[in-house]
Structure 1
């Protein structure tokens, strides 16, 4: 997410790909949590969402792209691990760059909207 300025008002885009696929702030935050936590369970707990929801969101992302955005290894001595693939890391980077550009482009409009609020 872009640095919060005094406005505390931001554009968080949702990208529609075809009729069935979307990428938005929730999926990006989940990917970032997964990158940090290396576990779907831990990422879901960190974001305070059910494991099943996290899995469904990640599965939807994997089905959207030509290659997986994450890969998991099953348990064993050290336990399982989930890592982002290069596509998953690029998705975060591209989304964050888009978010920054959008917020820079609409800064005046965001300030106008902010002036209309009670804060």
Structure 2
């Protein structure tokens, strides 16, 4: 991807809009990825700087939209709670990341051309 001294000027962000109210974009993909790594919706939300309520709402949107849940959640208690990305959730994330890579690689020349058409970056 073309860069200048400050990094890329234009980037592609994949946003998939479905007939249901689901929109799958970089934020939900990142939330899934962090829940997978951390095993916790609240820990993933904290890392992303969002409220637990917002993260849970996003998880619920995805769980309702897909035929199978993307996250399994265990309630807190003596042993603590937790969250697991399901096989469906892992598939969603894998396909989403593959589409991002495809767009980034196939679109590199177009991004470079669009960057060339932008006003020059101010110096300073």
TM-score of the pair, normalised by structure 2: 0.85
Give unpaired runs (5+ residues) of structure 1. none
C-alpha distance in 2 between matches for 1:111 and 1:60 = 35
Work out which of the two has the higher radius of gyration on C-alpha atoms and give 1 or 2.
2
Equivalent runs, 1:42-53 vs 2, <5 Å: 42-53=43-54
Q: What SS does the corresponding residue of 2:72 show, helix, strand or coil?
A: strand
Q: Deviations over 1:40-65 (max 9, x none)?
A: 11110000011111111110000100
Work out the CA distance in 2 between the residues paired with 1:21 and 1:29.
15
Runs of 4+ in 1 over 4 A off after TM superposition: none
Deviation at 1:6, TM superposition (A): 4.6
Q: What SS does structure 1 have at the residue aligned with 2:112?
A: helix
RMSD: 1.5
Deviation at 1:75, TM superposition (A): 2.6
Alignment match, 2:32: 31
TM-fit CA distance, 1:117: 4.6
Give a deviation string over 1:23-53, Cα, whole Å, max 9, x none. Answer: 1111000101111111111110000011111
Q: 1:16 and 2:17 equivalent?
A: yes
Q: How many Å separate the matches in 2 of 1:117 and 1:34?
A: 40
The alignment covers a number of residue pairs equal to 115
Instruction: For structure 2, list consecutive stretches of 5 or more residues without a partner in the other structure.
Output: none
